[in-house]
Amino acid sequence: MKARNGAVLLVLAMVMGCSAGETADQPAQDSQVAAAPAATAAAATTQEPTGPIDQALATEGEGYFTSRGCASCHKIDAKLIGPALKGVTTRRSYDWIVAMVVRPDSMQQNDAEAKKLLAEYGTPMVNMGATKAEARALFEYLRQKSQ
Ligand code: HEC
């Protein structure tokens, strides 16, 4: 339920982001002015980082790798409790990785690939309470480590 609310909010933020863009050079009403900056910021923190590695974002992600407890179950180069994460950003999509980081519990129930991994590893990945913005930084860290 929580995850579904999150998805609805994301869609809402995206829709608001688009309409704000389309009306950007028209005189906006007060309510649009108030809504636009938040919607744009939300979209920016959930977009897939592409192109050259954003070093600052990757360093931020490296911090979350420890502070969110990922390091207790994952290493980059070797299997621990969970899979080695080197190359994960090339074998999985951005959306899949973010979903797995933010709500692994739901993925283990609903996603075919996550179910397969769980069957293989025997231990469920735990929901560590990472936000989408943190997942994005974690993705950039993993993308850097996969190069
Ligand atoms: C309690 C141990 C544990 C913790 C903590 C944990 N994971 Fe996992 N992770 C796993 C296991 C086990 C799997 C394999 C799937 C499953 O069993 O649910 C997995 C799978 C994954 C995958 C998919 C790997 C692949 O090969 O497709 C990614 C990406 C991932 N974890 C990232 C993270 C990140 C980032 C964090 C920190 C926010 C984290 N994990 C925290 C145990 C953990």
pLDDT tens profile 57-105: 999 999 999 999 999 999 999 999 999 999 999 999 999 999 999 999 9
Q: Quick check: CB of 88 below 6 Å from ligand 1? A: yes
Asked if residue 104 has its Cβ within 6 Å of ligand 1, the reply is yes
Q: What is the pTM of this model?
A: 0.78
DSSP for 104-144 reads HHHHHHH-HHHHHHHHHH-SPPP-----HHHHHHHHHHHHH
Ligand 1 centroid–CA 113 distance in Å is 13
Q: What confidence category does residue 46 fall into, taking pLDDT thresholds of 50, 70 and 90? A: confident
As a whole number of angstroms, the distance between CA 142 and CA 147 comes to 9
Question: What would be the CATH architecture of the domain defined by 55-145?
Answer: Orthogonal Bundle (1.10)
d(CA 17, CA 35): 9
Whole-angstrom distance, CA of residue 145 vs CA of residue 42: 26
What is the rounded CA–CA span in Å between residue 142 and residue 119? 23
Residue nearest (by alpha carbon) to ligand 1 atom 36:
70
Number of the ligand 1 atom closest to the C-alpha atom of 134 = 38
Ligand 1 center to 72 CA (angstroms): 10
